[in-house]
Amino acid sequence: MIHFIGAGPGAADLITVRGARLLGEADVIIYAGSLVNPALLDGRKEGCAVYDSASMTLEEVLEVMRAAERRGETTVRLHTGDPSLYGAIREQMDALDREGISYDVTPGVSSFSGAAAALEAEYTLPDVSQSVIITRMAGRTPVPEGEQLRKLASHGCTMVLFLSTGLLERVEEELQAGGYAPDTPAAIVYKATWPEEKVCRCTVSTLARTARENRITKTALITVGHFLGNSYERSKLYDPAFTHGCRKGKQG
Ligand code: SAH
């Protein structure tokens, strides 16, 4: 049995209770060493075999899984954040399906949630933005044509960019070509929830400079939009005058 588990964004106590239990029961752990906090391995079983996937190919990862299956052992494949985002789990699951090896998936706290917590922000403010676009800048890994950053930027909603810290000059251009004003608030969140976390607030036109000045080159998220500003309407849900399924509003 293979368990795909989201490790959370960094802090070792941000893994789920289920994830931590399965991790503690594993005979084999394959973890994404470039981003997963190694402190998560501290609770492993004695004799547990540990592999860092950072230097492994898909084929090598699958071979470790297969070998564990042949021995009747349990494998945990530990991915950073939530495995459904830029986690390359689909190709692993499809290969396991072809070989009749069973698996399940335990979600994790994604770094975009960790970044919101670090910013003490709400991505979906009433009247400001009710949508969050999660995307990345096209680099060595292409992005489908219809998802060019400038096209997505045209919505003017909250955006969270993964995997784009090395491309910030182009990010600035694309965001502005899509319609964000140069002074639209933005923030770079480096290593959200890790002890070395850094939050750098800036604007759409100062992203590259801000990253340079703070020597941030990777493991950061770029957040963009007026959710980082100070103007918004309060929610209907908690408005005394608003009636909904669980509460009757007071008039006057
Ligand atoms: N599945 C992960 C994302 C993996 S892609 C998740 O749900 O978070 C790797 C990218 O995620 C990094 O390049 C960076 O953009 C972002 N990232 C991962 N952990 C981060 C953290 N703690 N703080 C800021 N960004 C992070």
Please tell me the distance between residue 33's alpha carbon and the centre of ligand 1 in angstroms: 13
105 in contact with ligand 1, CB cutoff 6 A: no
CA of 150 relative to ligand 1 center, distance in Å: 22
- Residues 95 and 169: their CA atoms lie apart, in Å, by 38
Output the tens digit of pLDDT for each of the chain's 252 residues: 999 999 999 999 999 999 999 999 999 999 999 899 999 999 999 999 999 999 999 999 999 999 999 999 999 999 999 999 999 999 999 999 999 999 999 999 999 999 999 999 999 999 999 999 999 999 989 999 999 999 999 999 999 999 999 999 999 999 999 999 999 999 999 999 999 999 999 999 999 999 999 999 999 999 999 999 998 888 888 888 889 988 888 876
Of ligand 1's listed atoms, the one at least distance from the Cα of 218 is: 13
Helix 90-99 and helix 58-70, axial crossing angle in degrees, nearest 10: 40
> What is the reported pLDDT for 247?
87
- Measured in Å, residue 80 CA sits from the centre of ligand 1 at 7
Q: Which atom of ligand 1 is nearest to the CA of 165?
A: 15
Maximal C-alpha separation, the chain: 71
Tokens of 29: 């752990």
User: What is the distance in A from the centroid of ligand 1 to the CA of 97?
Assistant: 27
What are the angstrom distances between the C-alpha of 174 and each of 128, 153, 164, 179, 222?
A: 21, 8, 12, 9, 13
pTM flag (> 0.85): yes
In this predicted structure, what is the pLDDT of residue 252?
62
221-250: buried (b, 16+ CB within 10 Å) or exposed (e) per residue? bbbbbbbbeeeeeeeeeeeeeeeeeeeeee
Does residue 8's CB lie within 6 angstroms of at least one atom of ligand 1?
no
Task: Compute, in angstroms, the gap from residue 111 CA to the centroid of ligand 1.
Answer: 5
The pLDDT of residue 26 is: 98
CA distance 34 to 210: 24
122 Cα–ligand 1 center, Å: 18
Sheet holding 158-162, edge to edge: 132-136, 158-162, 220-224, 185-190, 198-203
Task: Give the mutation target among 219, 223, 224 for probing the ligand 1 site: most ligand atoms within 8 A of CB.
Answer: 219
The residue type at 122: E
Kindly state if the Cβ of 81 falls inside 6 Å of ligand 1.
Answer: yes
Residue 185: alpha-carbon gap to chain centroid: 20
Cα separations (Å) of 227 from 119, 125, 184, 187? 11, 6, 10, 11
**What does the pLDDT look like over 3-57, one tens digit per residue?**
999 999 999 999 999 999 999 999 999 999 989 999 999 999 999 999 999 999 9
